[in-house]
Amino acid sequence: MTALIGRTRARAVETLSLDATETRNALSAALVRDLAGALTDCAGDPEVRAVVLTHTGTTFCAGADLRDPPHPDALLALLRQVVELPRPVVARVTGHVRAGGLGLLAACDIAAAGPRATFAFTEVRIGVAPAVISLPVIPRTDPRALARYYLTGERFDPAEAVRLGLLTVTGDDVDEALAPVLDGLRRSSPEALDETKQLLTARVLETFDRDAAELTALSARLFSTAQAREGMTAFLERRDAAWVV
C-alpha cells in the first residue's frame, strides 16, 4: 500500500506531509485514515514537541476527494483530532487550498503560507455547503469577511487569508516566516504548551460539542441532492454546472 503521509523529524518537530499528488492531496477516505493514524502516533510520542502539517506538490489540499470521499464522521473526527492534539499543530502551505482543505488549515493552531498559495471555499459551486469544516473555520475567522468567500467561492490570496484569520503569517519564504515560530515552540515547556493549547481551543471545541451532529447531518444530506450530483459531475467533467447563468 502506498504511503499517503510522509514523515520526518528534526529537533523534536515532526513534519507530516500530505503525499497524494495525483489527486492534489484531496481528502480521500484513505488519506484521512492515514493522517489520523500519524497524528495519533505524534500524540503518544513524548519526543514530539510540535507537528508541522505540509504537503508535496502544488496543492496543500483540494478538499474532499469526490471519487472516494471520507464519511462526514471521519472528517469530523480528523478535524477534532487536530484541534485536540496535545501538541501544537502548525500548517505550512506553499500551494493551493480548497474547500475541506481549509477546514484542515483552520483546525491547526498556527498557519503560514508562501506567496503562491491560493484559497477558496468552493463548496457552493458544486451544490453543497462548507458544513463540517465550519466547526473550526467559523470560530477562528472574521464573520463579515468570511461571508463573501463562503457565498461566492471566489479565490483569495495569503494577505486576505491573514485578514480573515485563516493564516497566522505569510511571507516570500514560508520557512523563514516559520523559523521563529518553531524556535519558540522548541523553547517552550511541553506541559505548558499542552495547557496553553487547551486554553486557546476551548471555544472551538465548544462549537464541536454543540454543532457537530447537526452539521454532519447537513453535509450528508446535501451531498445526496440532485444539485450536488450535478455540481460534482460538472466539476469532474470540467464544465459549468447547469445553474450557471
| pLDDT at residue 104, as a whole number | 98
| pLDDT at residue 231, as a whole number | 96
- β-strands 110-113, 5-10: how paired? unpaired
**Does residue 221 lie within any of the structural domains?**
no
CA distances from 121 to 18, 72, 141, 234 (A): 19, 17, 13, 17
Q: Using one digit for the tens of pLDDT, what is the confidence trace for 34-73?
A: 999 999 999 999 999 999 999 999 999 999 998 898 989 9
**Does residue 134 lie within any of the structural domains?**
yes
**Does residue 51 lie within any of the structural domains?**
yes
169, β-bridge pairs: 112
CATH number at residue 134: 3.90.226.10
Let me know the angle formed at the C-alpha of 87 by 86 and 92, rounded to the nearest 5 degrees.
Answer: 140
| pLDDT at residue 54, as a whole number | 98
**Does residue 227 lie within any of the structural domains?**
no
| Mean per-residue pLDDT, 160-189 | 97
| pLDDT at residue 141, as a whole number | 97
**Does residue 76 lie within any of the structural domains?**
yes
**% of the chain with per-residue pLDDT over 90:** 97
| pLDDT at residue 3, as a whole number | 81
**Does residue 192 lie within any of the structural domains?**
no
| pLDDT at residue 1, as a whole number | 55
CA distance 117 to 25: 15
Instruction: Give the domain extent around 144.
Output: 5-174
Q: Using one digit for the tens of pLDDT, what is the confidence trace for 2-24?
A: 689 999 999 999 999 999 999 99
| pLDDT at residue 2, as a whole number | 67
CA distance 151 to 114: 25
Q: How many domains does the chain have?
A: 1
Q: Using one digit for the tens of pLDDT, what is the confidence trace for 70-123?
A: 989 999 999 999 999 999 999 999 999 999 999 999 999 999 999 999 999 999
Instruction: Kindly give the interhelix angle for 100-107 and 72-84, rounded to the nearest 10 degrees.
Output: 20
The string of DSSP codes covering the chain is ---SEEEEEETTEEEEEE--GGGTT-B-HHHHHHHHHHHHHHHT-TT--EEEEEESSSEEE-SB-TTSPPPHHHHHHHHHHHHH-SS-EEEEESSEEETHHHHHHHHSSEEEE-TT-EEE--GGGGT----TTHHHHGGGS-HHHHHHHHHH---B-HHHHHHHTS-SEE-SSHHHHHHHHHHHHHTS-HHHHHHHHHHHHHHHHHHHHHHHHHHHHHHHHHHTSHHHHHHHHHHHTTS--TT--
| Mean per-residue pLDDT, 203-219 | 97
CA distance 58 to 85: 27
**Does residue 203 lie within any of the structural domains?**
no
Residue 221's pLDDT band, with cuts at 50, 70 and 90, is very high
Q: Using one digit for the tens of pLDDT, what is the confidence trace for 152-168?
A: 999 999 999 999 999 99
**Does residue 94 lie within any of the structural domains?**
yes
